[in-house]
Amino acid sequence: MSLQQGCNSCHSAHRTDTLFAASEACLTCHNDEHSLGFEASPHGQLLTRAIAGVIPVEQAVSCATCHMPRTESIIDGEAVVQVNHNQNHNLRPNEKMIRPVCMQCHNLGFSIDALADPALIRNNFNGKPATHIPSIDWSLKRVAD
């Protein structure tokens, strides 16, 4: 049986709680190792610190930060922030996430290494990549020469 997803799957019908929709709502359906590992991950800890008021909420990372990134556009001369609700744009293959998501905070080499490490993905990036993809080093060396 397939469940239909709609706005109320993540957002309350009577109030806008983007913080709930950005992480807690995800866990109402997703219970895989990656999703359940979010809270203990470095990204999850940033969200916890933002909720506690220790860091600005703009520095927080949620499930939506990576899987539903925000983009800013100018519409009729005004800056408008939009959320990309089409998860196919940044979910699978996960390499789609490197430029629009990972590289907003991390460098290319780290991003490639992290997404090439299945164990690191499963535990929601709690740790450092155990894998190193040397092709980025070759490219950087070639540019430097």
Query: 94-121: per-residue pLDDT in tens?
Result: 888 888 889 989 999 999 999 999 999 9
| Domain membership flag for residue 144 | no
Kindly report the pTM of this predicted structure: 0.80
| Domain membership flag for residue 62 | yes
| Domain membership flag for residue 83 | yes
Q: Taking residues 62-73, what's their average pLDDT? A: 88
CA 86 to chain centre: 13
29-39: string of b/e by CB count within 10 Å (b at 16+)? eeeeeeeebbb
pLDDT band of 76, cuts 50, 70, 90:
very high
Contact 77, 52 (CB under 8 A): no
pLDDT of residue 117: 95
Partners of 82 in the β-ladder: 71
Contact 126, 42 (CB under 8 A): yes
Structural domains of the chain, count? 1
| Domain membership flag for residue 1 | no
By the 10 Å C-beta count (0-12 exposed, 13-18 middle, 19+ buried), 66 is classed as: buried
| Domain membership flag for residue 65 | yes
pLDDT band of 1, cuts 50, 70, 90:
very low
DSSP 25: G
Which of these ranges, 56-60, 71-75, 89-93, 120-124, has the smallest mean pLDDT?
A: 89-93
Structural domain range at position 28: 7-139
| Domain membership flag for residue 67 | yes
| CA-wise closest residue to 109 among 91, 122, 128 | 128
Partners of 31 in the β-ladder: none
Both structure tokens of 108: 């290319």
| CA-wise closest residue to 121 among 40, 28, 35, 39 | 35
Query: 3-48: per-residue pLDDT in tens?
Result: 567 788 888 777 778 888 888 889 988 999 999 999 999 999 999 9
Q: Taking residues 125-131, what's their average pLDDT? A: 93
| Domain membership flag for residue 91 | yes
| Domain membership flag for residue 2 | no
